[in-house]
Amino acid sequence: MITTKGLILLFLLGATSVLGQRLLKPAFGRIQIGQKTFSPLVLLSLESTRSSSRRGSPTFTYIRRSPLVQDSKRFLSPWSKWSECSGKCGQTGVQKRTRSCLAEHLWGTHCNEVTEEGRLCIGHVCSACNITCPMGRVNADCDACMCEDATLHGKVSLEDGSPAADARVYLQAEKLKLLTTADNRGMFRIPGVCPDGKNTLKIKKAKYATATVTVPESTRRNLAIQVQLQRSGKPYIFRSPEDKARRVGQSVSLCCDARGSPAPDRYLWYHNGSLLDPSLYKYKNNLILKNLNRDQSGEYFCKASSAGGSAKSQPAKLAVIGRQEAACNSQPQSYLIRLPHDCFQKETNSFYYDVGKCPAKTCAGKLDKGLRCKDNIAYCCGVSKMETRDISCNGYTLPTKVVVECGCKKCTETKITVRGRATAADNGEPLRFGHIYMGNKRVSMTGYKGTFSIHVPADTERLVLTFVDRLQKFVNTTKVLPFKENGGAVFHEIKLLRKKAPVTLESTETNVISLGEMEDDPIAELEIPPDAFYRKNGEAYRGKVKASVTFLDPRNISTAAVTQSDLNFVDEEGDVFPLRTYGMFSVDFTDEQGTESLNAEEVKVHLDATQVKMSEHLQEMKLWSLNPETGLWEEEGDFNLEKSRRRKREERTFLVGNMEIKERRLFNLDVPESRRCYVKVRAYRSERFLQSEQIQGVVISVINMEPEAGFSSNPRAWGRFDSVVTGPNGACVPAFCDEQNPEAYSAYLLASLGGEELEAVSSAPKLNPNAIGVPQSYLNKLNYRRTDHEDSNTKKTAFSINMAKPSSNSPEENNGPIYAYENLRECEEAPYNAAHFRFYRIEGDRYDYNTVPFSEDDLMSWTDDYLAWWPKPMEFRACYIKVKINGPQEVNVRSRNMGGTHPRTIGKLYGIRDVRSIRDSEQPNVSAACLEFKCSGMLFDQDRVDRTLVKVVPQGSCRRESVNSMLHEYLVNHLPMATNNDSSEYTMLAPLDPLGHNYGIYTVTDQDPRIAKEIALGRCFDGTSDGTSRTMKSNVGVGLTFTCSERSTAEQSITQSQRNSGQQSILVLPGESPAYRRQPANRRMAQSRIPMRGQRSPTY
């Protein structure tokens, strides 16, 4: 038997030695405590508390177990399993098991038995400590090495260099161990950490991503490390999966990438909105699908997550077709081109001809080996076969190439460009030589006139640019700029907010700064408590402070275009949602000399609740700050209702929020808004509104207005500004809407192309549904009004509508132009005959005809043909010649462009350009025209050069007066040279070199044909090689001069002249192509071949 003292000894031995376990094992037979003996099944509790005696002996409490009655099994449940041993490894503990009475009302008669039993046990077998320390020794917890003589010194700072006060420093072990906390200077000191290159520290601070740092290996016993914390935020998708096409049985790889602080550590993939099982597909940020079948067609997107939140990628379309199925529809779509003014077609009773086109969509082409995120070669449906058709015109035949078959071929490679101009919103002052940042990288600068050009990198998800004024006259402006994903350039007007003049504050006093343009009625106020300013190194600042706080007041509609970013945020699920602003403000604090930026803490924002007209917004109002890298707004804090009297005004209710001004200096007073719709808009080249005359690259902007007066708010106030770019099927513009009340929200829509405002369809004297593009019944509900509806002197470049969400019960409202937010795909793919709003360009007096059809708005429509006007789809060279007309009338001038020296194109038509001369405002009998011609150069195969044969023909009774002497000399010196026997026109083999205004020639090369032409035209109008003008200057930079008189009936028309004079007028030498001629022996002979009237020198 074992006595009490012996049992206690065994407990101690059992916890520390094998001997104790050997002695304890036979003792489990019977245990004696005092005068009582128990079996092993005993309820035993060892209380580790001292008794009142000095000896402090442990106390054992017990309940004696009674014999079981014979029928107890009928009323008691079976015993449960024994619990785990309560003892630690190698130590003695207790296990328990229980049972319950099945008939509680019979307790005492049949259930007077033990319901809980215990027994002694020994804890699990101790595992040996397997840590090996290259220096120092293992600590008591066997989870790290420690060196008593080593000390680690550290400094933790924030993104702007200010100290990370109260940052917590942990040791990475099985469980994080808190070692210390940084002081107000961001400093910390940790003794005993071994510099062995294996100890890892985790540094944490609220609103910042956890930093991980490994203590470097060193022989020194005193080490110093520096750690910079990054602001914590949601992941940001910078690469979404691409659209792909495959055949049944093939494989595909879809990829997405996200950045963030902390970095994303989990990716989920979805197919048509359903989660793909991660255990089945074994994916991360790369989804691989093998042995595809048709059911796997559809949309795929990924969701990246981290401790900071989640973000979703843009969806990608995967098309899966049969093994023998045609990759593209071989039948071309209808595509009408406009013919010249003298080419009316009686068969169709129009000036249009159907040349067909192939939609440039992704198709299943030849695959290379291996699975890649981006296919090495992208395949698109395109033209596989064309035929030449002759169109009968007025006195001549016009050749054109018609698409007869489509097929799968390599996609046309294009470049994406964003251009624009950055100017002040108040007076148009340009941002001269300002820096442009993409993320943290400077990518460009603005020019003297504020212009800029940015090449958009491949795979760009969102183009986020920040414009920084080096002179600090303007607020740093971050914009999310839409661009043409299929290539080409888009022009954006960037409006900048001028900084408010700084005011001087006393740092030791409470300071209040009003937020709002109207001083007597501010939207909000900033309250800065005493001693709130501190330097970036964490030191308190005592002295005068220069404070510049610039507020964007939404009560002034003229400020809408200055809106920072695109007013979006990402919710917890990773979806992008819009914000409705109640004002945004930029904060700039410096010392008295203005040389050092200062931070401020415990700043309060008091938002006047009377400015929030929608009561539901009072509960949802939040303070946001802009992330300049992603262009997304991130939550800074909430607001609380508070009643107070401020500035001796009556007592009012304020929304009060707290903020700290450190790394970020741009803030927003916003509420999330879930009532959203899309507006379908298309832009056209003219008021004919033909499908084939839609324009891509037009920037459509919408200003979301507050509800109309009498509903709930001031009609002057705006809440959101958005921009999108038209594509081949128009654009879907996001806007707030309301289903219950059609007048709850209204919106203004505007359109611009290359800085030029497009015109909206008129709403007066009465609405014309056929012109506007919306059925009459829905049009009345939307209350369509062009801006000049009430005042004819107002611009005609915008219209307003009520944002009435379509009713599901009305068939007319479910076909556009307003679409519910969840029906974006339906809006994007809406057919041309679906309802939509329209803008159009005021058509100038010029006309372009290409033998090989090509839309300058859609670079993917380029065809690799020898007669293509533009030989390279990634570089477009525009050429113009300035033609001066002496005469009382404006006249049409045509250039006829044909192959001149290339054996594959000689004598064949590239295209025609028509333009009408513009009257000189200062000279009544003088006009001038900037006429485009096809530049000479390599054709699409880049094999050899073609000197384009250009014939310039003014329409009417005209005679050539002079040719620019420098141009003439150049052509003489660069043979072959065209003959000019007809004085009513001029023929030349276009120069290969990019000549300038001194020659009367204007050449510009750009990645977008429309931009190249606009720049060249501006220079031609101005008569300079580097300037630009919208006013024609007819006496400078002229290449050709003609004198034209009013035509008599006996005189030939332009088409008769072309018919009678033959196809070309080139001097033919024996044995040579008609396009070639040798250098004449005498330059005087060559000059005599070009008739020159008069002796006056040419103008330039």
SS3 422: strand
R_g of the chain, CA atoms, integer Å: 41
* pLDDT the model gives residue 132: 79
Q: Which helix (H) or strand (E) holds 436?
A: strand 435-438
* pLDDT the model gives residue 286: 93
User: Which residues make Cβ contacts (< 8 Å) with residue 579, sequence separation at least 6?
Assistant: 567, 568, 569, 624, 633, 668, 670, 671, 672, 673, 720
Question: Is the CB of residue 915 less than 8 Å from the CB of residue 892?
Answer: yes
* DSSP, residue by residue, 892-930: EEEEEEEB-S-TTTBT-EEEEEEEE-EE-SS-TTEEEEE
- Say which amino acid occupies 57: S
Q: Write out pLDDT tens, residues 184-199.
A: 889 999 998 888 888 8
Q: Which two tokens stand for residue 430?
A: 């340009």
CA 786 – CA 656 distance, rounded (Å)? 40
What residues does 683 pair with on adjacent strands? 839
Q: Write out pLDDT tens, residues 1052-1093.
A: 444 343 333 333 333 332 333 333 333 333 333 233 333 333
SS3 1058: helix
SS3 41: coil
* DSSP, residue by residue, 120-146: EEEPPPPPP-----SSSEE-TTSSSEE
How deeply is 161 buried, as exposed, middle or buried, from its count of CB atoms within 10 A (0-12, 13-18, 19+)?
middle
* pLDDT the model gives residue 843: 66
* pLDDT the model gives residue 826: 92
Q: Are strands 957-963 and 1040-1045 parallel, antiparallel or unpaired?
A: antiparallel
Closest CA to 85 of 125, 114, 58, 47: 125
- Say which amino acid occupies 360: A
* pLDDT the model gives residue 104: 54
Q: How many CB atoms lie within 10 A of CB 426?
A: 13
How deeply is 979 buried, as exposed, middle or buried, from its count of CB atoms within 10 A (0-12, 13-18, 19+)?
middle
SS3 779: helix
Prior bond to 765 cis, omega within 30? yes
SS3 389: strand
The pTM assigned to this predicted structure is 0.75
* pLDDT the model gives residue 1094: 31
In this structure, which long-range contacts are made by residues 71-74, counting pairs with CB atoms below 8 Å and at least 24 apart in sequence? 71/110, 72/110, 72/111, 72/113, 74/102, 74/110
C-alpha distances out from residue 131 to 90, 795, 931, Å:
20, 79, 84
Would the CA dihedral through 1015, 1016, 1017, 1020 be positive or negative? Answer: positive
Positions of the chain with pLDDT lower than 70, given as ranges: 1-74, 90, 103-111, 124-128, 518-519, 644-652, 663, 706-716, 843-844, 1047-1100
Average pLDDT, the chain: 81
CA 692 – CA 838 distance, rounded (Å)? 14
* pLDDT the model gives residue 1073: 33
Q: How many CB atoms lie within 10 A of CB 224?
A: 10
SS3 716: coil
| Tokens 């795929």, residue located | 300
Longest CA pairwise span in the chain (Å): 147
User: Which residues make Cβ contacts (< 8 Å) with residue 488, sequence separation at least 6?
Assistant: 414, 416, 417, 696, 697, 857, 858, 859, 1007, 1008, 1010
Q: Which helix (H) or strand (E) holds 831?
A: none
* pLDDT the model gives residue 971: 94
User: Which residues make Cβ contacts (< 8 Å) with residue 666, sequence separation at least 6?
Assistant: 475, 476, 478, 564, 584, 585, 586, 587, 625, 626, 628
Q: Which two tokens stand for residue 166?
A: 């109260």
Q: How many CB atoms lie within 10 A of CB 280?
A: 7
